[in-house]
Amino acid sequence: MNVRRFGVSLEEEILKQLDSLVKDSKFPNRSQAIRYLIKSSLVEEKIDKNKIVAGAIVIVYDHHKRELNNNLMNVQHDYHELILSMQHVHLEHDLCLETIAVKGNADKLRKLADAIIGTKGIKHGRFVMTDIE
């Protein structure tokens, strides 16, 4: 990767906010923070334009809830072409955590995540998308 240097002019208040971001996020320097912000903006643009992205759906649930496993499996079968892999972890006797790795158009992934997280019996869920380049 070729790295190029350039100058950036910022208003005092924005520079203070950038320095706070560097400190709070434990970035090694301003350049890394700016790189992160640019990349985040580009990922959001891809999501907004329904481009191909990757992501992870993370859910926590009680696996003893009646019909929950069947309902989750049915949703996953409906979107099988988007699912790359799954990991199932037992947190406690009744409590499980699943991470579902996905790849596809942002809109379809969001529908899949909404269907899974919205399934009756899911205690908590989160969906994260990122760029694949």
* Domain CATH for 83: 3.30.70.1150
Q: For residue range 45-92, what is the model confidence (pLDDT) as tens digits?
A: 999 999 999 999 999 999 888 899 999 999 999 999 999 999 999 999
Q: For residue range 30-44, what is the model confidence (pLDDT) as tens digits?
A: 999 999 999 999 999
Whether 67 and 113 map to the same domain: the answer is yes
Q: List the one residue out of 35, 22, 47, 55 whose CA is nearest residue 126.
A: 55
Whether 40 and 56 map to the same domain: the answer is no
Whether 58 and 76 map to the same domain: the answer is yes
- 27 Cβ contact partners less than 8 Å away, ≥ 6 residues apart: 21, 33, 36
What is the C-alpha to C-alpha distance for residues 128 and 73, in angstroms, rounded to an integer?
A: 20
What is the C-alpha to C-alpha distance for residues 115 and 82, in angstroms, rounded to an integer?
A: 13
What is the C-alpha to C-alpha distance for residues 113 and 82, in angstroms, rounded to an integer?
A: 11
CB burial of residue 38 (10 Å; 0-12, 13-18, 19+) = exposed
What pLDDT is attached to residue 63?
A: 86
Whether 40 and 61 map to the same domain: the answer is no
What pLDDT is attached to residue 110?
A: 97
Whether 96 and 42 map to the same domain: the answer is no
Whether 104 and 71 map to the same domain: the answer is yes
Task: Please tell me the pTM assigned to this model.
Answer: 0.83
Structural domain count, the chain: 2
Given CA atoms 108, 103, 57, 35 in this order, what sign does their dihedral have? negative
Whether 59 and 41 map to the same domain: the answer is no
Provide the domain limits for residue 32: 12-48
